[in-house]
């Protein structure tokens, strides 16, 4: 799992593989019952969650092969309660609200144990589960923003569904004895080393330039210039730092890219339900897609490695994926074969396949 912290584009995003660590972050439970009756999910949250399921179903495998088959188990944290939806093994003690046809699932509720600002993907009752707060609690800018961010987390479920994902993550050797999963957050990457800072700044600037519209054909010098700066950045890193950057780019950067791809797909092919479009703060998916794309470019230009630390890998990885879409459209066919790195897609000086 991964643990997402606050970034310029997002509310708190958290994601860990260790149940013990999650337990330490839980809040005291409060009463879920109202006069003995299990509390229903708030209408607005129910509409948003249903829209996320509907959009995911319509996308199917249209962005990533195999995505359709991955369960979308969810815990919605709303007020003093949390709702288990599409979860095959809800915890003992959770009360059934019966089947909700809009959500396509039986819904279970229990008193809140997770933070209301959670936006996370980790095992709950042995099932990879998205745990998400309400739009208000997670700082979403619009209903559409909340939905595509939820699909960002759903993409983590696809990543973690790959054969022996957790064993292969451990085999990277980056935990250094940590059994909590916190190494994904606090790995001692050389964020403050001047040579690494300079190499990252040069690579980020070159990547941003390569994504400019005038570079779209790949015929000018921008793409080869980035490939050169990319190689220089990798050369400036120790082996473990290089593996850690690759892991973060592969997992979090590509999830951020997927978030943008979902918004673009919805803008071109999806018709929101009337109830969703009527929610306060609604903006169309095409407007959201433009904002997400602009944010990636802005963060590449403005984020400082020493200050932002691992957060830089979100826009950097998303930008690499966008560049690969342009110069090597087949890269996604090998994404789940070349686990934890995008490097094979950049092996040739002139990626054009």
- Cβ neighbors of 307 (< 8 A, separation 6 or more) are none
The tokens of 214 are what?
């005038």
CA distance 132 to 150: 8
Nearest to 151 by CA among 9, 261, 269, 248: 261
pLDDT in tens, 48-70: 999 999 999 999 999 999 999 99
pLDDT in tens, 92-117: 999 999 999 999 999 999 999 999 99
Residue 219: what pLDDT?
53
Nearest to 182 by CA among 334, 9, 310, 276: 310
Q: Which residues of the chain have pLDDT under 70?
A: 1-36, 214-220, 348-353
Q: Flag whether the pTM goes above 0.85.
A: yes
pLDDT in tens, 209-240: 999 876 555 456 899 999 999 999 999 999 99
Angle, helices 285-302/254-269, rounded to nearest 10 degrees: 150
Domain extents for the chain?
19-163, 168-346
CA distance 239 to 63: 32
Q: What single string gives the DSSP state of each residue in 155-209?
A: HHHHHHTSTTHHHHHHTT--STT--SSTHHHH----TT-HHHHHHHHHHHHHHHH
What are the CA-CA distances from residue 11 to residues 86, 141, 344 (Å)? 24, 10, 32
The helix/strand/coil state of 217 is coil
Q: Where are the beta strands (DSSP E) in 33-150?
A: 74-78, 81-85, 95-100, 105-111, 119-124, 127-133
Residue 214: what pLDDT?
63
Angle, helices 285-302/143-160, rounded to nearest 10 degrees: 70
Residue 206: what pLDDT?
97
Pairing of strands 95-100, 119-124: unpaired
Angle, helices 194-210/313-327, rounded to nearest 10 degrees: 40
CA distance 125 to 177: 25
């Amino acid at each position: 799992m991964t643990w997402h912290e606050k970034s310029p584009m997002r509310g708190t995003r958290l994601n860990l593989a260790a149940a013990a660590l999650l337990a330490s972050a839980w809040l005291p439970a409060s009463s879920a019952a109202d006069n003995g009756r299990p509390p229903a999910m708030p209408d607005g949250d129910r509409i948003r969650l249903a829209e996320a399921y509907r959009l995911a179903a319509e996308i199917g495998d249209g962005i990533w092969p195999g995505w359709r088959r991955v369960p979308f188990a969810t815990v919605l944290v709303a007020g003093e309660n949390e709702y288990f939806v599409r979860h095959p093994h809800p915890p003992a003690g959770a009360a059934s609200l019966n089947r909700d046809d809009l959500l396509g699932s039986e819904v279970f509720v229990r008193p809140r144990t997770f933070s209301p600002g959670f936006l996370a993907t980790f095992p709950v009752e042995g099932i990879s589960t998205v745990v998400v707060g309400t739009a208000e609690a997670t700082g979403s800018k619009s209903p559409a923003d909340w939905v595509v961010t939820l699909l960002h987390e759903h993409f983590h479920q696809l990543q973690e569904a790959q054969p022996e994902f957790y064993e292969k993550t451990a085999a990277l050797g980056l935990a250094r004895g940590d059994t909590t999963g916190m190494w994904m957050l606090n790995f001692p990457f050389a964020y403050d080393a001047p040579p690494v800072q300079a190499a990252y700044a040069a690579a980020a600037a070159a990547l941003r330039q390569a994504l400019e519209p005038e570079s779209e054909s790949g015929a000018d010098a921008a793409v080869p210039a980035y490939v050169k700066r990319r190689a220089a950045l990798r050369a400036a890193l120790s082996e473990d730092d290089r593996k850690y950057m690759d892991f973060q780019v592969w997992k979090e950067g590509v999830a951020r890219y997927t978030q943008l791809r979902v918004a673009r797909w919805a803008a071109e092919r999806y018709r929101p339900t009337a109830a969703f479009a009527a929610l306060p703060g609604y903006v169309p998916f095409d407007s959201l897609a433009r904002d997400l794309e602009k944010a990636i470019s802005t963060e590449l230009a403005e984020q400082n490695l020493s200050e932002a630390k691992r957060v830089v890998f979100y826009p950097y990885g998303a930008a690499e994926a966008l560049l690969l879409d342009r110069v090597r459209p087949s890269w996604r066919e090998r994404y789940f074969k070349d686990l934890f790195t995008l490097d094979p897609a950049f092996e040739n000086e002139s990626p054009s396949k």
